[in-house]
Structure 1
Amino acid sequence: MSEQAPGPMTMDLTGELAALKNQVFVLKEGVDYKVKITFKVNKEIVSGLKCLHHTYRRGLRVDKAVYMVGSYGPSTQEYEFVTPVEEAPRGALVRGAYVVTSFFTDDDRADHLSWEWGLRICQDWKS
């Protein structure tokens, strides 16, 4: 989510996750953004749920973001979590393509969901 973005950027994690690997999201350098996650807990209580993003450029990990989401019980309603506001990097050296590996894990290190997606940092939104 970014108030400066021309429109919302959404990622549907209920479908084929392998298709997200080919989808590239464009982020303008220097903008403030946050990530909103909507999810359901179906069977058991999830304790210490975390969302992790490992960002790679040319095969080397350049960033690791860890967000503590919390503990949740089963419910028919969706839960929502919004990360704190962050600023996208800026400058000629950070522009370009990145691969992000994201996953949800808990205190027991159970992998609830994993996927890869593309990110491109550009001077403007249309690049």
Structure 2
Amino acid sequence: MASHDDQDDLKPSLTPGYKPTAVKTTEEYAKMDAEDESLARWKASLGIVPGVNAGDTSLPKVTVLTLELVSPTLPPGKKLAFDILDTARLADTKKNPIIIKEGVEYNVRITFKVNHSIISGVRYIQIVKRAGLKVDKLEQMLGSYGPHPQGEAYAKNFDPEESPSGVLARSGSYNVRSRVVDDDGEVYADWEWSFKLAKEW
């Protein structure tokens, strides 16, 4: 169960002056400012085209598919990715944490599908704890997207970071709470996983 502090940490940072607007359908967005040619091209690049089916509205707006740790130091053929929908694998990381090499540059990559509607101001928030104490917080903007015309997934690479190093950093495991949420506070995904730092991948 998340503590009250966790819930506050997992809320997106407020954007000054941002006020949520009324929710519109993809068709309504497609018809807005239809005479603006450059805006129409931009909307088409997001899959917002008049008369195109917006997708299955029984699904959530966003389905988060995978979380991956990418590093140029990973051995050839090694991939650190897991399926967010595979709850058994996520739960297994508590007993068998993912191994991350100490002192290397890496970045987080997330893949997701937009099922219908337009999403905006979507962020990935990650709280890292060790022995119950918060040691790091990452908040990265995914951006704004419409349903992909071919139903394909989007991938977002976040800014590179460096993993901690040293004997103290390598002792014990780290517990992570990840969330994908928008500026309006709508949560699209919320999961937990664990990792350990080691001298090698």
What is the TM-score of this pair, normalised by structure 1? 0.91
State which of 179, 195, 201 in structure 2 corresponds to 1:103. 179
Give me the whole-angstrom Cα distance separating, in 1, the residues matched to 2:80 and 2:71: 9
More strand by share: 1
Alignment of 1:1-127 (within 5 A): 1-6=70-75, 7-15=78-86, 17=87, 19-23=89-93, 24-75=97-148, 76-95=151-170, 96-125=172-201
Displacement, 1:18? 5.1
Give me the whole-angstrom Cα distance separating, in 2, the residues matched to 1:41 and 1:20: 22
Q: Which runs of 5+ in 1 are unaligned?
A: none
Deviations 1:28-81 (A, max 9, x none): 100111111111000221110100110010111111100111011122121110
Computed over aligned residues only, the root mean square deviation of the Cα atoms, in angstroms, reads 1.2
Q: Is the 8 A contact 1:18 1:115 kept in 2?
A: no
Percent of paired sites with the same residue: 40
Partner amino acid, structure 1, of 2:167: A
More helix by share: 2
Partner amino acid, structure 2, of 1:33: Y
Give me the whole-angstrom Cα distance separating, in 2, the residues matched to 1:31 and 1:114: 27
Higher relative contact order (CA 8 A, sep 6+): 1
Deviations 1:70-94 (A, max 9, x none): 0111221211100111110111221
Give me the whole-angstrom Cα distance separating, in 1, the residues matched to 2:108 and 2:74: 13
Q: Which runs of 5+ in 2 are unaligned?
A: 1-69
Give me the whole-angstrom Cα distance separating, in 1, the residues matched to 2:130 and 2:153: 33
